Structure 1
Amino acid sequence: MTPFLQLIFVLTIILFASKLAGYLTTRLGQPAVLGELLVGLLLGPSLIDLTHLVFITDRHLSEVVAEFGEIGVLVLMFLAGLELHFSELTRNTRVAAFSGILGVLTPVGLGILAGEMFGYSFDNAAFIGLTLGATSVSISAQTLMELKVLRSRVGLGLLGAAVFDDILVILLLSTFLALSGGGSALDILLVLLKMIGFLSLSAAFGLWVLPKLSRRISNMPISQGILTFSLIIMMVYGLAAELIGGMAAITGTFLAGLMFARTPEKSQIEPGLRSLAYSFFVPIFFVNIGLSVDTHTLNLNALWLMLVISTFAILGKVIGCGLGAKLGGFNWLESLQLGIGMISRGEVGLIVASIGLAEGYINETVFSAIVGMVLITTLLTPPLLRASFRKVTVSSPAPVQE
């Protein structure tokens, strides 16, 4: 088969398997995203190794599938922002700030403790802590959308906390790399200024320029012009978040969705984008998380470390984010729900760990343990989150904390 036919074959298997697995898990009372994650694990190098079958000769195929998946997570977070209103999120900043900050510092501290327990140097232990501090909120956002509680107090607090989490993890990572590499306080200040610059520019453009452009483009005789425009802005925000702010691209696309949520054109954008996302890109993203994990790399030397840091990773987010939410005014159940929603490390944890491996701060054994931790936290989050909302019914957006 030609490389193109190989791509079509792999995408066909991924899409069919993801929808079948999602259907089966919903029949079992679990979120569809859990089935998509599990089927990705089965199709990946842990069992079938779909992108490296004997008749697959294109060695770049797995990279192409992964890039489709990255588009999927960008669209997913854009849709999450599109479902909210900027005023709803800003009124919930106290919970978001407390949860985001404590939800990073607590697991980072526990990660350092785990590294020290296993006899690693402080630099190695610190990097283990940084991987535990990261959060991938895309898994939780999808689960909350399935449960129709994304606009509840917990959903709003979760998304706000994720923004604070992203900023703080990047600051801590940049500080660590600068200090260990002989950098100065000026380097750290530059990172902070870049973040402030990106957030200021994105807010200014979204509040004052975007509504006018959206209105003008929606009135033009262009087929699906406003939908295409929204995709362009989504990708520009994602690029700007990475290149200007030094932040994750998903933070940028989430902010882009928030800005479009303020415009009358939202009703034109959302149906088309939702169909495009959930029929193609988003299933590939969730399956690709499993495709990127090889459980054969989890050697026995890494097993105990994996179990310890996985336990600390879960407790760190539940306790840290939960306590932050409680301090912000949530009740105990809401605090627990928010803490559970922040457990997943997903692709963000793998990115931080890959930086540590490339820079020599962690070895292959530690990296294998972190991969196992990422897998465990990512798979546990959807069923735990669903269980925590089992007796909660939200028919309309709940009032947010002032």
Structure 2
Amino acid sequence: MKPFLQVAVVLAVIITVAKAAGALSKRLGQPAVFGELLIGLLMGPTLFNLLEWPIFTEGEYLHRLVKDLAELGVIFLMFLAGLETDLGEMRKVGAAALVGATGGVLLPLLAGTGISLAYGYPGYESVFIGTILTATSVSISAQTLLELGQLRSREGTTILGAAVIDDVMGIIVLSLVVALHGAAAGGEAGKPIWLILLLMVLFFAGAIAVGKWIVPPLLRWARNWPGTEPRFALAIVLGLLFAVAAEEFGQVAAITGSYTLGVMMTLDHDLKHEVEEKLSVLAYGFFVPIFFVSIGLEANLPQAIAQSGVGFMTWIVLASILTKIIGAGAGVRPFGFDWSESMRVGIGMVSRGEVALIVAGIGLESGVISQPIYSVMVVMTLVTTLITPILLRFAFRGGGSSLPRVTEA
């Protein structure tokens, strides 16, 4: 079978099983994303090992392609989450998001480090394990909140704001740990912390300025271009460029860039609705299902468990869940959130997703953590990613807390 036909079959299978599992999950009273994540795990090396079937002779190419399409899927998903965000409401929860993110970084960092030291791991490796636990992948929570109709609730807005801040804090901690390890080992220390902070500030300042004053008139101008859907095509281009700029220049995750553009585009309500409507079809019909399934396709659960100690792994998984709930939840509590609302915010920060795997991969490549520890991080990521939609569904059974909406023109 020709390579492009193998691609067609793989994508057809992934999208079919994703939509079928999502529909079954909703029938069972769970968010569709839970079914998509679970079927991805089953379709990977854990059970069916889809990408290694005999008919697929281009296994390495298929792995790379699915992973790249998945990365585009999460960029578009967070673009949509930004378009769904109410900027006025986000301003109202800014302080809560900042303190919640701080608690959601410090407590996992301390717990992961402490547990690792107790099990006899070296200092640098222990600190790096704690650093991996600070990660948050809000894409899973964002999709679940969208399904539950709670993305624009006070808790949903706080989760999204805290996730962006968490991303910045996590990158700073990661950079510091890698730099210290490199210096101690006599290797390259990487960028100095002051430069990373400066690049972050410049990126966010530039992204906000461009998103507010350049993007809207540019998209309005594109309306008069000849051809089919020129304005939507330009919006896609800008979303991708913001994602690239975030990671390559701003030192933060690519999804932070696309999310930032989406938030800024909400300032023009006509543009927001047009882009949101068309992007939803493209993202949810093709890219986003690939992203959710791909998380499981890369995971070999039995191997990961076999390579890691059950006791240590259990403590890390428990810590990864509880420290986010407690740290982020307690952080927002003084800002008018009751205990149930605080718990929802904490649960929304639990999922580690692709962010934790990226950080763990950096640790493995730089020699800070070993292969067995990386396997533990894979298990932790899978558990937190799978459990977040279930916990959010349970936590929002009584509905979220609404803030006064900004009147749309």
- TM-score relative to the length of structure 2: 0.95
Displacement, 1:186? 7.9
Corresponding position: 1:366 with 2:365: no
Shift of 1:184: 7.8
Structure-to-structure mapping, 1:270-285, within 5 angstroms: 270-285=276-291
Determine the C-alpha separation between the residues in 1 that align with 2:250 and 2:114.
31
Structure 1 position 300, deviation (Å) = 5.7
Alignment of 1:134-213 (within 5 A): 134-182=135-183, 187-213=192-218
Please state if 1:13 is matched with 2:13: yes
Deviation sequence 1:129-164 (CA, Å, 0-9, x none): 011000000000000000001000001000000011
Unmatched 5+ residue regions in structure 1? none
Which residue of the partner structure matches residue 328 of structure 1? 335
Cα pair 1:302 1:368 within 8 Å, conserved: no
Question: What residue ranges of structure 2 are gaps of 5+ in the alignment?
Answer: none
Distance 1:105 1:95 in 2: 15
Runs (4 or more) in structure 1 with deviation over 4 Å come to 183-186
Contact 1:303 1:369 in 2 (8 A): no
Give the partner amino acid of 1:288. S
Matched-pair contact (CA < 8 Å) for 1:135–1:166? yes
Structure 1 residue matching 2:214: 3-state secondary structure? helix
Q: Indicate the residue corresponding to 1:379 in structure 2.
A: 386
Deviations 1:57-80 (A, max 9, x none): 112111101111111100000000
Deviations 1:213-235 (A, max 9, x none): 11111233331111111100100
Q: 1:57 to 1:184 in 2, by over 3 A?
A: closer
Residue identity over aligned pairs, in percent, reads: 44
What's the CA shift string for 1:18-45, capped at 9, x where partnerless?
1110011101000000000010011101
CA contact (8 A) 1:107 1:132 kept: yes
* Shift in Å, 1:392: 1.6
What is the CA distance between 1:85 and its match in structure 2?
2.9
Distance 1:184 1:93 in 2: 33
Contact 2:86 2:263 in 1 (8 A): yes
Q: 2: distance between equivalents of 1:393 and 1:129?
A: 31
- In the TM superposition, what whole-angstrom CA distance separates every residue of 1:183-227 from its partner, at most 9, and x where no partner exists? 789811001001001001101111111121111112333311111
**Number of positions where the alignment pairs a residue of Structure 1 with one of Structure 2:** 398
Shift of 1:84: 1.7
* Structure 1 residue 302: Cα displacement: 2.7
Match of 1:294 in 2: 300
Equivalent pair of 1:226/1:268 in contact (CA under 8 Å): no
Question: Counterpart in 1 of 2:259?
Answer: 254
TM-aligned CA deviation for residue 249 of structure 1: 0.2
Does the 8 A contact of 2:178 with 2:189 survive in 1?
A: no
Q: TM-score, normalised by structure 1?
A: 0.96
Distance in 2, matches of 1:50 and 1:170, equals 34
3-state SS in 2 of match to 1:313: helix
Q: Tell me the secondary structure at the aligned position of residue 265 of structure 1.
A: helix
* Cα deviation, residue 90, structure 1: 2.0
Amino acid at match of 2:386: L
CA RMSD of aligned residues (A): 1.5
Alignment-mate amino acid for residue 396 of structure 2: F
Q: Tell me the alpha carbon deviations over residues 319-374 of structure 1, each in whole angstroms, 9 at most, x when there is no partner.
A: 10001110232111110001001000000010111111111111111111111111
Match of 1:51 in 2: 51
Per-residue deviation, 1:393: 6.0
| Contact map agreement 1:226 1:265 (CA 8 A) in 2 | no
3-state SS of 2:150 partner: coil
Partner residue in 1 for 2:129 = 128
**Is the 1:44–1:294 contact (alpha carbons within 8 Å) kept by the matching residues of 2?**
yes
Once the two structures are superposed, the pairs formed by residues 5-154 of structure 1 within 5 Å of their partners are 5-58=5-58, 59-154=60-155
Contact 1:218–1:265 under 8 Å retained in 2: no
Does 1:304 pair with 2:350? no
Deviates more, 1:327-336 or 1:166-175: 327-336
